[in-house]
Structure 1
């Protein structure tokens, strides 16, 4: 599987005017962090393209973002896994909804069920059974006109439109639905194109028009289970004016680009204007790339017809339908113009508006009725919503390329909360390093940590706690002012106190470092268990900022409800304490899928020809910059970016005890006049940094 980081939502007001609270963002992550959800192309449940694991919330000054791990198949085996996962997730969702409903829906409608039935879940829990609505609400049958449409004023006698295509009964806990052909791919497994339905229903009190609509007679739902869907694929109704003078007369065809065909499943849309004295008639038909997934050999194409009265300067009629074709007829249709082919389709009318409909409202209704069809914008001369795939990516600076973790005190604190599968390995140990770096030596993977973890171990020891580290762990030293402290997991016995002690140990270290005038950027991660999940809180920032943060928040709540309130406090603290600082460093350069904010150094590549030499000043290095790219490397030439040495520590002695430094009770960070003497090392390597330690 191809893996990538995705931004799902933020705590800012989005283009639809929605603002998601931190508690709601946390709910979304909590529910699916260890399960994941299927990903679909264009919100079409019949087009699975991957899986998404919403694993964390990322806090920066002035913004919180929900992060997800996307999994995209790269071969047939991967694709099968995605398809199987899609089926599993779908069946599990329905089963959970049925179990939670405890037969309430079934008991209400069982006397009207004929033969076999199925449960569905699209917005509400519902039962699919042919013509079940006609048996439960017989009065609705008599309200139909010759096209099967019902006036809203008749429908409103016993039902109230909620939104997103659903009508609630006024006294029973039941709901009925708009025709399934209003849904994506004409499928009951998909959401409605509800922008159109909601806009149309918002006009029901307009005395100048009469609205009729078609219903789904085979689906009955349990209204208390209704949940509003949020589809954040931006589709907007432009602010149209009342001018139609620039609309071309006759037949015009607009064709989708290759990407639009693949993404939206549309090949062509035909538009036709004709004059009939004072009346101008407009027709539109959309030609699809694929047949309807839940119907046998059926290409369902959206169709629209309107009449504009030039004497009244308004539309007097507007209706929409689905024109259906079998394969043979459809292949014949796509080779001919709409005006030449005639009316040889299977025709299902979906809605009708008669009366006085303003032109700007007509244009908006068309745009929303044809949701997911970008050719509508093109026809009316409006800029299309631009795909993120069409936008040019900002080029990275040299600093972002070579030192992607570059950070300063003014950049504030970065914080990542993430949820993972429960960790049972260390539940009976108060403090354990649970995530290790890995280095490959002669074809064998070895666990390795940055050597300063020993300072954390010594700080915890002075507070009465033992930090558990694997015996075969290697220790690396980086000669820069960045420090990755690995994830420390806290066992089940007393995580509240144990986490507090860890924070105190870190605070003691940071305070001493500040007093020595150090400017170190540090990452650390705290982990524990809540219910069936492991929680990780990872922090990244300058030692002074982190010290002040720990002094402010000396306790991290270990129960979920208290933790949610704590998260709100984190947002407030970061927003009030620091200036806005978004993506410095870039989120994708420091957020790891395991929930750790990680300083990931870049090795000095072979193209720089770095070599070591000794002189009277000691061990030195020299390197060269590729001549053809010299102008791109100003930050190196000016000394802002330098190679820094790293190595694996083989033997180190305490300056006080003259014994193994790792076993010495003295600390180079916590004590005065103590240092570590490196006697043996291996694996000398150079990385780029903007904070070199001499």
Structure 2
């Protein structure tokens, strides 16, 4: 736990330092509005990004903010003030980003991500002749930076298809059920935090990547340093032959700060962030030649040491014994 907390503190320090220019710009904008923001008013949260906090900050920056008698803000007005298409739960204005109220977040906590899936569906809802109103985070605004990690539900992305050539390119992420305790995740889900998967295409070749990230409790010592190990798989499927032509596996090693950045992100992290993650790795196996889809799936599942998330991705369901265990736990 001490390494975990040190990793969080180190990550926050790095993020605040790397976004110094944006912080100074927002301080200057606030000063012109008569608001005295200082460095101590800025924090970094993994699920949100860099946030400035001060009493009634949104009202003072955007005054006047139109409101209904119940205090809700017209969604249309927020959209009109948005400088570009905004992420769900956020409205990006010219100098900062307004956020939905913290009560939409998990456990009603401002440091958590938004609880799925109400905010997503509210943001996307476009009922005919329906006016939308939303409660906003009155005291906090976010920097106009994508320096945050979306907190996701237990599954998103396209499911596996045995006809590999028909699998769409994109990201898939799987997590253990959110209602399980840490001890149950450790016991029945091999202490997994998530399983990340990415498919991409280049002509007739489809490339598969998978990364199994464990909880912060799983560490390994290399030399004098502590790392978080993560099993990694890479494979190439030839759509013309209908076979995998290459398949390899490795162990990647993340420092505490790298781990905190990567675990709730995805394979596009380096493309979306100026701070690059270049983890250490150790290649563990490689197959070159024609490998059938059935053999490849079987080897993947065993390489990931019977992680139920692997079974969930490839078959659409947990193994029978895991399903039975979950039913017993939830009946207590």
TM-score by length of 1: 0.25
Bigger radius of gyration, 1 or 2?
1
Higher relative contact order (CA 8 A, sep 6+): 2
1 or 2, which has the higher strand percentage? 1
Please give the TM-score of this superposition, normalised by the length of structure 2.
0.49
Higher percent of residues as helix? 2
